[in-house]
Structure 1
């Protein structure tokens, strides 16, 4: 399975990552990626960038080393109503928006509360991806979540880093979510969630999962740049209209 894009990458601006935009772009080129997302954390993450950093992403070139650079953010979900730490006036101009639950920014609710937070977040028309929903710190009603993602045209992330050290215990949840996406024909996106350039474009564990459950390639948005751009156009991303 050949994946052509990685939309979840953190630079040194995130405070706990270790590479620059140029280093990440160089690694993306080396691994044959066509599209690369720069998605540093929102400002509520301890050590994260000031909101001005997100607002000034326009200075980054749209192409580096032949790789298309999408300027975005991994916004933090702050409550059950789906409030994010990035104002809509900035969200509307970003190329890609991931929204995630992080226990450094929000106290985990019970299953119902966590599910409500994700469902409400997906009602935000500027949100494209829900990041690492398999995190066991935030238990969710997986089927409600998958159906909500399909209804709102929000991509569900299969996060390669979740299978490593960053979110122990995620693997079983990711399998269940992926199987439900297959059942309900809900599109997914595979991302590295890299915090150092060497991990950009690293999808090995996620691919292993998807091959194990025989996920149809048409549901994996990374397998086609045309499919990905069509998705962004449908979401109204100004850069691609």
Structure 2
């Protein structure tokens, strides 16, 4: 199956990534992606941009090198109340928002009740479209509660390729369980590269291997269709 979109990529603006927006878009075009999301880290991450950066994304073109571009943020969950590190007016204006927990922002805890509560409360925010890398073993969760809430709120669960190959090592078993629960409950997932360098964009190989092991139905993987993904965002209220 050819997957034609990647919604979780970073540019040099994130502070610890290494290619520019134009370099990322050009590479995406070269490998045949139709839709690219640029989602730099929210302001609470060390080295990340001020929230004004996200407020000004409207000046960027909708198409680069023949690739349809979506401009958003990988926002940080900053507390157990599920609050995010972008002002609400900016959350409402950007094209797409991933909500993630990161150790530099939240202290790692083995308390699955607390971590799950943070995610569940975040998912009450109508501006959240994707839950980022929920399989991080440093932040254990009650996986089935997360998946049931995703179904209720029509939020995509990310299977993050980077978690298997370069960060959050130890995620594989948890991500497999999360994907299996998505299969069981009919919850759609999104494969994302979490690329911090352009040549990693669109690479989902490790994540795909996990999905093969559980016989994940293709219809639950939203990366198959540009139209389906844009319709998802429009259903969530985005005018794209």
- Aligned partners of 1:147 and 1:184 also within 8 Å: yes
Determine the structure 2 residue equivalent to 1:128: 129
Taking the aligned partners of 1:31 and 1:204, their CA distance within structure 2 comes to: 14
- 1:184, CA displacement in angstroms? 0.4
Q: What pairs up with 1:1-241 in 2 under 5 angstroms?
A: 1-109=1-109, 110-239=111-240
CA contact (8 A) 1:43 1:51 kept: yes
What per-residue deviation string (whole Å, max 9, x for no partner) do you get for residues 15-70 of structure 1?
A: 00000000000111111111000100001001111111111111211000110000
Instruction: Write out the 4+ residue segments of structure 1 that deviate beyond 6 Å after TM superposition.
Output: none
RMSD over aligned Cα atoms = 0.8
Cα distance in 2 for partners of 1:211, 1:223 equals: 15
TM-score calculated relative to the size of structure 2: 0.98
How far apart in 1 are the matches of 2:79 and 2:158? 20
Rounded Cα–Cα distance in structure 1 between residues aligned with 2:231 and 2:209: 26
- C-alpha contact 1:35 1:70 (8 A) present in aligned 2: yes
**How many angstroms apart in 2 are the aligned matches of 1:170 and 1:163?**
6
Partner Cα separation in structure 2 for residue 18 and residue 43 of structure 1? 18
Counterpart-to-counterpart distance in 1, 2:206 and 2:166: 12
227-236 or 112-121: which moved more?
227-236
Instruction: Number of aligned residue pairs: give it.
Output: 239
- 1:122-180 Cα distance to aligned partner (Å, 9 max, x none): 11000000000000010000000111111111100000000012111000110000000
How far did 1:108 drift?
A: 2.7
Return the TM-score normalized by structure 1.
0.98
How far apart, CA to CA, are the structure 2 residues paired with 1:54 and 1:183? 36
Please identify, of 101-110 and 193-202, the stretch whose mean Cα deviation from structure 2 is larger. 101-110
Task: Return the alpha-carbon distance in structure 2 between the equivalents of residues 212 and 108 of structure 1.
Answer: 29
- Cα distance in 1 for residues equivalent to 2:51 and 2:234: 26
